[in-house]
């Protein structure tokens, strides 16, 4: 495998499972410094076991601007940002006829979290982005 991300810092949000976990492993294998973020430090620690390269873990709730800023305080630049938090909602998809009010409410809440997460990350990462 090529190490085409050598010298790059990649932040993966939602890195403790699913798509985010797979992305974190792939970019680590390609030589990137990986910053894994998720709400649970325990899940991040389990997810990062045996991961190649330089990996840093930060537990932060993506809805909390201060928590996100604190997690990023040690970094002077970020090369790539991958947002996958809440991307697992599609895995729970049901046919329209089978949806309950609870399903719709959960999906709406998750969409709101994803939207707010994107907004907070845009604000938090802007000063760190390399030109």
1: pLDDT strictly greater than 90: no
Query: What b/e readout covers 41-77, taking b as 16+ CB neighbours within 10 angstroms?
Result: eebbeebbeebebebbbbbbbbeebebbeebbeeeee
Residue 21 pLDDT grade (very low, low, confident, very high; cuts 50, 70, 90): very high
Supply the pTM of this predicted model. Answer: 0.74
Assign 2 a pLDDT band (cuts: 50, 70, 90). Answer: confident
CA distances from 112 to 26, 34, 106 (A): 28, 26, 10
pLDDT, mean of residues 4-14 = 93
Residue with the bigger pLDDT between 123 and 76: it is 76
What is the C-alpha to C-alpha distance for residues 29 and 55, in angstroms, rounded to an integer?
11
Q: For 9-128, which CATH superfamily applies?
A: NAD(P)-binding Rossmann-like Domain (3.40.50.720)
The confidence score (pLDDT) of residue 69 equals: 82
Give the model confidence (pLDDT) of 25-54 as tens digits: 999 999 999 999 998 999 999 999 999 999
């Amino acid at each position: 495998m090529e190490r085409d991300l050598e010298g790059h810092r990649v932040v993966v949000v939602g890195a403790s499972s699913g798509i985010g976990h797979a992305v974190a492993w792939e970019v680590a294998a390609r030589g990137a410094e990986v910053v894994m973020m998720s709400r649970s430090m325990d899940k991040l620690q389990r997810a990062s076991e045996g991961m190649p390269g330089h990996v840093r873990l930060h537990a932060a709730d993506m809805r909390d601007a201060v928590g996100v800023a604190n997690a990023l305080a040690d970094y002077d630049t970020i090369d790539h940002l991958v947002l996958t938090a809440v991307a697992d909602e599609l895995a729970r998809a049901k046919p329209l006829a089978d949806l309950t009010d609870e399903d719709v409410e959960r999906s709406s809440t998750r969409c709101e979290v994803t939207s707010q997460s994107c907004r907070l990350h845009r604000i938090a990462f802007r000063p760190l982005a390399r030109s």
